[in-house]
Chains A and B, each alone.
Chain A
Amino acid sequence: MLGENGAGKSTLLRILAGLVRPTSGSVAIEGSVLERRTARRRIGYSGHANLLYPTLTARENLCFAGRLYNVANPHERAAELLAEYGLSATAERPVAKLSRGTAQRLALARSLVHDPRILLLDEPFTGLDLNGAQALMQRLRRLRADGRAVIFVTHEIDRATALADAALVLQKGRALLMSAPPQRSDLEAVLGQPVGSAA
């Protein structure tokens, strides 16, 4: 999902995640409109904030999230995720003491604690350095290869063209353009030239 600030991307994502009740219309997942609680079970969400408790450790945060989602063995699942996302070293450190990149990795791990088929990410690339961004792109590709649907919000057309199967551009709360597969020329036309590109 792309669009300028205030276009409604975060709001739409939160509606899809079941956090906001739409004033009209409904959300259909794989063709059926589900009751919100059932829908929440299938969706993982990671927003602007990392949804973590700063005084709890990484492991405790994952365990708690696991319990919220009724995961079978929260402790095992937490250990699994910690290993997979390179968080084992910082597992016992309170979240307040984690670096931003690490916290973001933890937030992503948290959103996957219940193994959702659908993942919604709000600006996951913001604030990541080059290595972090590359690592994230790898992870997202792997998640997609797993058969999951991933919707992520970004400001950078490059991410859309490099990663996505389709790109939706929003403007003032309305869908402006759906480009599948994302065409750089189409996107640049509606969003304007990216900063620093050749005129």
Chain B
Amino acid sequence: MSTFVAVLWKDLLCEWRNHERLSAMVVFSLLLVVIFHFALPESSAPASRTYAPGLLWAAYVFAALLGHNRAFAAELENDALSGLALAPVDRGWIFLGKAAANFLVLAAVQFLTAAAFALAFELELAAHALPFAGIAALGALGLSCLGTLFAAVAVRTRFRDVLLPLLLFPLAIPLLAAAVHATAAILAGRGVPPASLHLLLVVDAVYAIVSFLSFEYVLDE
């Protein structure tokens, strides 16, 4: 447990000292908002508002991708990853610490991106802030678990930047589908649909368990 706190604190401290990761993710998200605006014919028309939930989550997934790649790149710099592998602890806790740090960074980016989206697509996010925040958090949780696990895998292969999305995307589809479905329903004023909420919870549980147990094998050389 103390390992979890130590790793989480260390990651946040590193992020605080050198927030190039956070800045990159935020700037990237803003760029995506602009690109999406130009990609859709008229972004303020009601028709394109139906696409907004999907685009928002696409933006979240891309931002998560960026963040996770960077998170482990830092560990490789002085082979600090071996330092973690040497620790006489259950590696699942190391995983949780890193995933939690990634979650917090992603959550911050989610908040800023949502604000940008609300502005760009004239969404009424503020009115549904709480349920949306809940869904966003659950989605970020799943993305962080899966992303942390596979970033650790991808970072020690060739073409690490290319491999992470290839590994992550197919596995993230259930999370994406549930999150988009829920977000669309929330923005339409229908509240959180139980079907997508349940799927989201199950998906998060599956991701978390698989990642926690597999990390042991991933840290070995």
A binds B: yes
Q: Quick one: CB contact mask for A99-116 with B, threshold 8 Å, 1 for yes?
A: 000000000001000000
> Roughly how many angstroms separate A10 CA and B184 CA in the complex, as a whole number?
55
Cβ-defined contact, B220 with A53, below 8 A: no
Cβ-defined contact, B84 with A14, below 8 A: no
9 contacts between A and B (CB under 8 A): A14-B221, A20-B221, A38-B88, A51-B79, A52-B78, A55-B18, A67-B6, A68-B3, A68-B6
Known pairs A19-B220, A67-B3, A70-B2; A56 contacts B86 (CB<8 A): no
9 A-B pairs with least C-beta separation: A49-B79, A67-B6, A51-B83, A68-B87, A40-B88, A41-B88, A55-B17, A55-B18, A20-B221
Q: Is A125 among interface residues, defined by CB-CB distance under 8 A?
A: no
Q: Is B13 among interface residues, defined by CB-CB distance under 8 A?
A: yes
Residues of A within 8 A of B6 (CB): 64, 67-68
Residues of A within 8 A of B14 (CB): 53, 55-56
Q: Is A132 among interface residues, defined by CB-CB distance under 8 A?
A: no
| Interface residue tally on A, bucketed by range | 20 to 34
Label chain B's interface by main secondary structure: helix
Nearest A residue (CB) for B17 = A55
Interface residues of B, count at CB 8 A: 25
Q: Is A141 among interface residues, defined by CB-CB distance under 8 A?
A: no
Cβ-defined contact, B79 with A47, below 8 A: yes
Q: Is A174 among interface residues, defined by CB-CB distance under 8 A?
A: no
Chain A contacts with B in 26-66, Cβ cutoff 8 A: 37-38, 40-41, 43, 45, 47-56, 60, 64-65
> Roughly how many angstroms separate A18 CA and B87 CA in the complex, as a whole number?
10
A118 to chain B, nearest CB (A): 12
A60 CB contact (under 8 Å) in B13, B74, B77, B221 = B13
Cβ-defined contact, B221 with A19, below 8 A: yes
Residues of A within 8 A of B88 (CB): 37-38, 40-41, 69-70
B78 CB contact (under 8 Å) in A18, A20, A53 = A53
Cβ-defined contact, B17 with A40, below 8 A: no
B87 CB contact (under 8 Å) in A14, A40, A53 = A40
Residues of B within 8 A of A51 (CB): 78-80, 82-83, 86
Residues of A within 8 A of B85 (CB): 19
Nearest A residue (CB) for B220 = A21
> Roughly how many angstroms separate A55 CA and B78 CA in the complex, as a whole number?
11
Identify 10 new A-B residue pairs, CB closer than 8 A, beyond the known A37-B88, A52-B83. A18-B86, A19-B82, A37-B89, A49-B78, A53-B14, A55-B14, A56-B17, A64-B10, A67-B5, A68-B84
Cβ-defined contact, B89 with A68, below 8 A: yes
Q: Is A94 among interface residues, defined by CB-CB distance under 8 A?
A: yes
> Roughly how many angstroms separate A14 CA and B17 CA in the complex, as a whole number?
31
Q: Is A157 among interface residues, defined by CB-CB distance under 8 A?
A: no
Cβ-defined contact, B89 with A70, below 8 A: yes
Q: Is A17 among interface residues, defined by CB-CB distance under 8 A?
A: yes
Q: Quick one: CB contact mask for B18-34 with A, threshold 8 Å, 1 for yes?
A: 10000000000000000
